[in-house]
Amino acid sequence: MTKIKSINISGIRGIKDPLPLNLDNKSILIFGENGSGKSSLTDAIEWYYSDGVEHLISKETGATKGRGSLRNLFIPDNEDAFVNIHYSNNKLNATKSIDGSLRTSVSNTTDNFKEYLLATQSENLILRYRDLVEFIIATPGEKIEKLQNIIGFSAVADVRGLLKKSAGRIARNIKSANFDNQKNAQHTVVLDNLGQNAYTDDQLFAGANLLIKPLHIGKDIKSHKDIKDVLKTIEAKGDTALLEQISFYTKVGENLTEIFGNIDNIHSSYKTYHTIYTELRKDPENIQKLQLLALLKEGQSVLKNDVVQDDYCPLCLQEKSKIELIKELEERIRELETLEQKKDKLKEQGQKLKDTLRVNVNTIDGLLKEKLFKEEQQATLLEKVQQIRTSLNVFTDELKKELIAKDSIHEPSKIQINKKEISELAKQAQDTAKELTESKGSNTKFQIYTKLFQTVTAYNQYQSIKRQQEILTKQQITFQVLFADFIKRQEEALNVFLKTFSTNIDEYYTAMNPNEKIKDIKLVPIKDKNDDLVGITIEYSFFDETKTPPIAYLSESHINCLGLSFFLASVKAFNKQNELFILDDVISSFDRPHRTRFAKLLTDKFGEYQILLLTHDQGFFELVASDVKNKGWLIQNFTWSKENGVGIEKGTTDIKERILKKFEDKNTNGLGNDIRVYTEKIMKEIANNIDAQVAFRYNEINEKRMAPELLDAVHSRISKKGSELKDKANIQRLKGIPMFIGNVTSHDNEFNESIADLAAIWEDIEKTILIFYCDECGKSISIKYFDNVENKIRCGCGKLTYDWKQ
């Protein structure tokens, strides 16, 4: 498994000059104010691995996958921007550069590195705050798509789709060909001529032998060749024209019988089509709205890709929670997709009917090619057959009508094909063929020849249709069996995966939200009425009732927890190549207990991973820092200045060191606040040591009193205990410092003092603190070290002492 030894970034996003990070395969906690370059680091790594930066892709930058915004604005065009990464496996070390014309190049061209990059594509390396809930609010279909992409199931899903489509296409062909009907038409001819039907050669030969018996030609038919021989023997050359006529009428009879057999199918198929069509047309507005579907999906993608950064609607510009907006869009998209499914059903039904009509039109067209139709005496028959074709075309024309056309399609009863007429026409043709055959009443040879010829033609035709049907049916069965087997295996594999994945999600979520009424979080496959897998939903037990989806009941903070749990579970499940991941400002909406538990989760469950944890939250930074500083993590600060761009400095959790560094840098940013926090911390310690008590108050009042009341308590205590300490430590002076006054709304009040003002304040505070702390042992005076004999309070070593009344 791969970890990162060092990263060096130059000229990417906010990072102008080279920014080296020496990680030495260790995790790192990075603190940086907003705009200090944390996201530049994340963007650079994302570009390095995926060749683009997702959140930079918009309509304007789409063509370059966000690369247009990648290079730092202030680096010269002839200078390359780059990301250089050294790995635990040094064969993978590489530098990826992007020049002034946005051409990229990678220094490592080995197969090793290519394979590594390819494998990394399917891993989850980076989680940003804005991506947290993406999976949770995705539709069931998108969820399965995302998971399939990650777990390499997308190819499997493609094959499944192909199998299903192929089986469906063949089934449609079989249905529209109506093989049984075609076979029947041929059987009827055989029955009529031979006085029996024939499914097998033996049955045919037995019937044929009976038929030729009166001719006494001394030949027993045992094969198809024998039949040909007999036909040749009894053929009467002079009767060709008559035979042609008989064949013609027989064919007309057969074909019309075949079409007759399909008419019910056409009528019922059109009726179904008409019902769906009419149903959809009831609400034309809805159909119009369908045209919005693409637009809504585009809107959804705009919001998800963070093209709009803040919580407002990009169209009406009103303030609106982005998550809410995405949720609303999803609901509308879902509604329209249901409508689209109905429209697809109509299309599918239309296609079925079209296929059936095509088969019949082809039959008629084939028949119309018969040369006898050119003869004048067939004009009436020709007209009637053409009329059938016209009536079939009426259906085809109806299918071409748009759903939102002004006039609806015809009622099924209005465009019925005249079944009776076709049946009569077929019977007439068959009777004519029979009459013609019998016209040579006395000529038994002629009659037998005609009957045998018609029989053999029909039998062969029947066998050919049967073969076609068998081939297609076999193909259909094969696809069905493959499909069923495929689904079974796919489901088994997916279920195993989902179970493990769900267990991890549940574990991480519960670790962050213990003792809550949300339990048993799991991913559950959704199937449609055909038992096909169509999506995945998130299910959980809420007050012992099964609920889905999460967004309906959970707060934003809980959904974020769930998002984090998904990401972390996916790291465990999918990151096989890299033992590392990046978390960029993911805890913004968490309160203190959630942050604490999240930090613990990271250190407890992901200790073996290299984590790049970036935050702009001072409190979270300190919290995690205190937890990880003994676990080998690196701790660093990102700073940004106009002169130097993004810079790194050793991160410190020691607030005094931070204050001194800020004085050194003349950096007033947050310095007043740091001094206040430091003073409070020390005063709490002193108050504790000299037993200066602060009355109990509820937290909201506590917030208002921290520094002033601690100072008051200390002042009051030392005033009672001895004038020596009271005179030396001028607490009243500290209480007058503006940053300690009116600190009502927040700990993070802004102070506008100059660096000189702050230096003066700091000096006062340091002097006061020094009165309580021994410069020898470093410890504060404490009643623990109270000297009963001298009545003095003192430090740990006894060097610093003050009078203290009993």
Partner 1 sequence: MTEETAELKIFFDSPKVFEIQNIKPLMGLTGLYFIFNDKTRIQYPFKTSRLLYIGMSEKKTNSIGSRLTEHFEGKSKNWGLINYGKVNQLYFTYINFEMLRKFWSNRVEDLESYFILDFVEKYGVYPICNNKSGYEILDKKLKANFIINWPYFE
Which residues in this chain contact partner 1 in the complex, by CB under 8 A?
A: 174, 180-181, 183-184, 187-188, 191-192, 195-200, 203, 207, 261, 264-265, 268, 427, 430, 473, 477
Q: How far is the CB of 265 from partner 1 (least distance, A)?
A: 7
Q: What is the 3-state secondary structure (H, E, C) of 497-546?
A: HHHHHHHHHHHHHHHHCCCCCEEEEEEEEEECCCCCEEEEEEEEEECCEE
Place of tokens 């029979």: 434
- The CB-of-492 to partner 1 minimum distance in angstroms stands at 23
Q: Shortest gap between Cβ of 195 and partner 1 (angstroms)?
A: 6
Orientation of helix 240-281 relative to helix 379-400, angle to 10°: 20
**Closer to partner 1 by Cβ: residue 93 or 478:** 478
Amino acid identity of residue 612, one-letter, is: L
- Nearer Cβ to partner 1 (196/416): 196
Q: Is 657 exposed, middle or buried (0-12, 13-18, 19+ CB in 10 A)?
A: exposed
Q: What is the DSSP letter of 636?
A: E
Q: What are the residue ranges of helices labelled H in 666-747?
A: 671-689, 699-721, 723-728, 731-735
Comparing CB distances to partner 1, the nearer of 261 and 672 is: 261
User: Closer to partner 1 at the Cβ: 391 or 473?
Assistant: 473
The Cα 50–Cα 536 span in angstroms is 26
The runs of H, that is alpha helices, within 369-443 are 379-400, 419-439
Q: Which is nearer to partner 1, 191 or 303 (CB)?
A: 191
197 Cβ contact list (under 8 Å, min separation 6):
187, 190, 191, 203
In angstroms, give the least distance from the CB of 388 to partner 1: 18
Take residue 95 and report the two structure tokens written for it. Answer: 């530098």
Provide, rounded to whole angstroms, the least separation between the CB of residue 187 and partner 1: 4
Contacts within 8 Å (CB) and 24+ apart, 778-783: 780/685, 780/686, 780/689, 781/689, 781/690, 782/689, 782/690, 783/689, 783/690, 783/691
Task: Return the bridge partners of 773, or none.
Answer: 780
How far apart are CB 453 and partner 1 at their closest, in Å? 19
Closest CB to partner 1 among residues 427, 629: 427
Q: Which is nearer to partner 1, 2 or 186 (CB)?
A: 186
CB 197 → partner 1: shortest distance, Å?
5
Report the nearest approach of partner 1 to the CB of residue 417 (Å): 16
Three-state SS annotation for 661-682 = HHHHHCCCCCHHHHHHHHHHHH
Pairing of strands 28-32, 634-641: parallel
Q: Which CB atom, from 268 or from 693, has the smaller least distance to partner 1?
A: 268
C-beta of 187 vs 440, nearer to partner 1: 187
| Residue appearing with tokens 């700990």 | 747
d(CA 23, CA 287) in angstroms, rounded, equals 58
- 258 vs 585, beta carbon nearer partner 1: 258
CA–CA distance, 587 with 593 (Å, rounded to integer)? 11
Residues 163 and 486 sit within 8 Å (Cβ to Cβ)? yes
Report the nearest approach of partner 1 to the CB of residue 354 (Å): 18
- Closer to partner 1 at the Cβ: 206 or 524? 206
Q: How far is the CB of 176 from partner 1 (least distance, A)?
A: 12
Tokens of 585: 């400002």
Query: Smallest gap, in angstroms, from Cβ of residue 292 to partner 1?
Result: 39
Q: Is 546 exposed, middle or buried (0-12, 13-18, 19+ CB in 10 A)?
A: exposed
**Least distance from C-beta 418 to partner 1, angstroms?**
18
Select 119 or 191, whichever has its Cβ closest to partner 1. 191
Q: Which of 355, 385, 388, 389 is nearest to 373 (CA)?
A: 385
Contact 625, 655 (CB under 8 A): no
Are 635 and 648 in contact by the 8 Å Cβ rule? The answer is: no
Cβ nearer to partner 1, comparing 32 with 207: 207
Q: Supply the DSSP string of 25-94, one letter for each residue.
A: T--EEEEE-TTSSHHHHHHHHHHHHHSS-GGG-STTTGGGTTGGGTB-TTS-TTSPEEEEEEESSGGG-E
Cβ 258 to partner 1, closest distance in Å?
A: 10
Which is nearer to partner 1, 197 or 360 (by Cβ)?
197
Question: Tokens for 531?
Answer: 């038992």
List, as one string, the DSSP characters of 429-484. HHHHHHHHHHHTTT-HHHHHHHHHHHHHHHHHHHHHHHHHHHHHHHHHHHHHHHHH
10 Å CB burial of residue 420 (0-12, 13-18, 19+) is exposed
Cβ 384 to partner 1, closest distance in Å?
20
Contact status, residue 81 vs residue 12, Cβ threshold 8 Å: yes
Smallest distance, partner 1 to C-beta of residue 185, A: 8
Residue 198 or residue 580: which is nearer to partner 1 going by CB? 198
In contact, 754 and 671? CB cutoff 8 Å: no
